[in-house]
Amino acid sequence: MSSSPVSFPAPAQPYGRPPLRTVQILGGAGAGSSAHVRSLTTGLAARGVRVTVCAPVAAEGEYDFTGAGAEFTPDAASALRAACAGADLVHAHGVRAGMRAALALRGRRVPLVVTWHGGAPEAPGPFGRLGRLLERHVARTAAVVLGASSDQVDLARLRGARDARLAAVAVPAGAPDGAEPGLDADKTRAELGVVERPLVIAIGSLVARRGYSVLLDAARAWRALDPVPLLVIAGEGPLRAELSRRIEEEGLPVRLLGRRRDADRLLAAADIAVLPSRWEGRSLLAQEALRAGVALVATEVGGVPELVGDAAVLVPYGDPGALAGAVAALLGDPGRRAGLAEAGRAQAATWPSEDDTVAQVLSVYDELMERQR
């Protein structure tokens, strides 16, 4: 795939103003932030904003930012500096991206907006101290910090942000093209070998903060259920070898599926979704589960309670007994699962739409541009 920027003509601006030129910077290829930038790019380009997305080439391959109306440039430092040199405003997504943007903009009077997708509890030792230093520098450098959940806004203010605001990150909704929900779910379950047993699903990278070690502890208890549910985990990461070893040695009813492009289909086929994380902001899995009407069991951490309200079963982090018990109780109570499915769809209807998110972000851009004039 070529990494050369592709230009798209911008619609005429009101009052003869030139198009606003923005750079959207991704610090990695995370699903939540990448989907948000794709959605934001689509909305901004449709409103006449010129958008350049600076991200890993893998993210462009999966999310097709050029197809959304952006120019794409790989995230090499030289390419980032060149993109920022021609920008009216730079919007970074995550602390790592915010730090790279701050370096690229050094000496330039270009406003920096940072959406705080991170903000997890502090790590111990030197890595924790380094993380706090990075957060403090980014928070104090940004003209505006947008937090996807209230706790992220609070953290940004604690780190010294001059202006921190709540800005919910909406992600695209909708079933895969051509999918027939019932038939497609049956086909997916058959492929996984769970036609006559429950299916529990977790989705996310195989990293420590996701809480998968606790989830495997819970899965050990599910072996006593009849029928024994199958837990599938869709995601890839550095803990794969460790998790695989435990699954084999302990005979756990768990399958690691690796990174999947059809995670939405897997979720639609599941009886229960689980989110065992040590911390989450505005969880992509939680949003997708509630929209799909899949009962969710999640840890009561970060922005999760604010996001799901009463439409999910919440348990303490790090308590495998509570997690195992909550899932087992739901598997034995179809009526409760149906109630959660209905409540989830109702809760999802209260969230800001993609258009709402784009409008809020664009209002921030307009405000910052007015300050520049």
Where are the domains positioned within the chain?
A: 19-170+353-372, 181-348
Fold of the 181-348 domain: Rossmann fold (3.40.50)
Q: How far apart (Å, rounded) are the C-alpha atoms in residues 22 and 368?
A: 12
Q: What's the pLDDT score for residue 3?
A: 45
pLDDT for 373 beyond 90: no
222-265 per-position pLDDT tens digit? 999 999 999 999 999 999 999 999 999 999 999 999 989 888 89
Q: How far apart (Å, rounded) are the C-alpha atoms in residues 101 and 94?
A: 10
Answer whether 19-170+353-372 and 181-348 agree in fold.
Answer: yes
15-19, 38-42, 279-283: least confident range: 15-19
Residue type, 245: R
Q: Which residue has the tokens 């086929």?
A: 269
147-188 per-position pLDDT tens digit? 988 989 999 999 999 999 999 788 676 543 334 555 588 899
193-212 per-position pLDDT tens digit? 898 899 999 999 999 999 99
pLDDT for 85 beyond 80: yes
Q: How far apart (Å, rounded) are the C-alpha atoms in residues 214 and 323?
A: 8
CATH ID of 19-170+353-372, from 3.40.1160.10, 3.40.50.300, 3.40.50.2000, 3.40.50.10420: 3.40.50.2000
Q: How far apart (Å, rounded) are the C-alpha atoms in residues 316 and 323?
A: 8
293-348 per-position pLDDT tens digit? 999 999 999 899 999 999 999 999 999 999 999 999 999 999 999 999 999 999 99
